[in-house]
Amino acid sequence: MLMLKQHFSANTQGHLVIGGADAVELAERFGTPLYVVDEQRVRENYQRFYRAFAERWSSVLVCYALKANFNLAICKILQGEGAGADVSSGNELRNALGVGIPGNRMVFNGNYKSLPELELAITNNVLINVDSLQELEAIEGLASRLGKRARIGLRVNPDVKTPTHPYIATGLRDSKFGFDVASGQAIEAYKLASRMQNIEVVGIHSHIGSQILDVGPFEEAAKKLMALVAEVKKLNINLKFVDLGGGIGIPYKPDDPELKPEEVAEHIVSVVKRVVEEKNLARPTLVFEPGRYIVADSGVLLARVGYTKKRPDMPTWIAVDAGMNALIRPALYGAYHHIELANKIREKNEQLVNVAGPLCESGDFLGKERKLPAAEPGDLAVIFDVGAYGLVMSSQHTAQPRPAMVLVNRGKAEIIRKRECYEDLTRLDQIPGWLK
């Protein structure tokens, strides 16, 4: 057994306990593969993140990044905590509205926002972080037609290097996101936007990447953004919202460092304070868009062991009923997720194993060269830290229905996303008349 994170425990039967519920009983009651989310952990993570900044700066808006997990129950928990929303599609925007998050506490991000999505955002007074000049013109045209003023910020590319997987590094100069700062494009875009009739320029935005465990890049981005805020003020544009995006990582491996939100807040707020005082700026609202930090470690995936295959001098293969269809991060980014046996949580991890899913690709694994207790058919594998970018990135590869998701809180458990069934797989298919 490893050192479990503090919100987990083991009971006298040697079973993993999450949110007061026995993981083995959850798997029996709801079936596998099963996502389980601990409500209290989501609340604690949000509160810790919010407090870290709110204790250091008077005006803070934490917009939960729905892309990490847009399930309605999760959104509802965060709405109850007072979170705003970072949405990256019209449908995420609808989810946020649906649970009662007002449009003026939302930011809308992305490099491709369709006209109907932009219309929805403008109508609901959502702050749109604009990614290109053509998008800016589209918003001006739409707002004029709707007889509204659209609230916008500009997403800028601060050219900050982040120590993370290249697929989720987004702040480098050659990334597809944002207006280039170094060449002056960002300033030119502010000039243009400020002359538009139906646009209210209120913010600046950057998101440098995801799963970052070092405070340095956040501090560098804050410095570059605040320098730009001061430049923009010379044009008589006072930016009320400084949005530093999301990206705070979590320790996935037992020996990964932890990046404390308090440390990030300390560094960022001291940069903001200094520039505000030196340049005599109005105090902006600081906006953050954490996704992973809020929900990742609140979730586990339970998967049933079907077969094991011993091989001489090589790790034993363990086949479980969840693979890259249910959790794609290991296959897509080589991401590490810790794995244990939930029904043998107190036993020693002595067997070298590879844990694989049921799909027809060699990329279909959840973990390689791991140590587990001797595994047998019927054991229950638990994959940790899957609350973010887990179920939302799942697929129906090899006609596997997507798993169910259950919310647990102090021993109570209820389904928050039903398991797909065969009919769900074929519901949208049609056979053309000429084939009948």
Ligand X SMILES: Cc1ncc(COP(=O)(O)O)c(C=O)c1O
Q: Does 160 bind ligand X (CB under 6 A)?
A: no
Give strand pairing partners of 151. Answer: 200
* Contact pick of 41, 105, 151, 207 for ligand X (by CB under 6 A): 207
Residue at token pair 């109907």? 116
Range in contact with ligand X (rule: CB under 6 A) among 41-49, 65-73, 74-82, 97-105: 65-73
Binding mask 85-114 for ligand X (x = CB under 6 A): -x----------------------x-----
Number of residues in contact with ligand X under rule CB under 6 A: 17
Q: Tell me the closest approach of the beta carbon of residue 177 to ligand X, in angstroms.
A: 8
Residue type, 342: A
Q: How far apart are CA 238 and CA 236, in angstroms?
A: 6
Is residue 299 within the footprint of ligand X (CB under 6 A)?
no
- The verdict on 69 binding ligand X (CB under 6 A) reads no
Half-sphere exposure of 304 (CA within 13 A, CB side): 15
153 binds ligand X (CB under 6 A): no
CB closer to ligand X out of 322 and 388: 388
Of the pair 345, 386, the CB lying nearest ligand X is at: 386
Q: Which residues within the stretch 245-264 sit at the binding site for ligand X (CB under 6 A)?
A: 245-248
Residue number, 23 or 127, with CB nearest to ligand X: 127
Report the residue from 42, 65, 229, 406 that binds ligand X according to the rule CB under 6 A. Answer: 65
Active site residues: 360
| 140 is a site residue for ligand X (CB under 6 A) | no
Window contacting ligand X (CB under 6 A); options: 48-56, 221-229, 239-247, 424-432: 239-247
Does 292 contact ligand X by CB under 6 A? yes
In the complex, which residues of this chain contact ligand X (CB under 6 A)?
A: 65, 67-68, 86, 109, 207, 210, 245-248, 289-293, 388
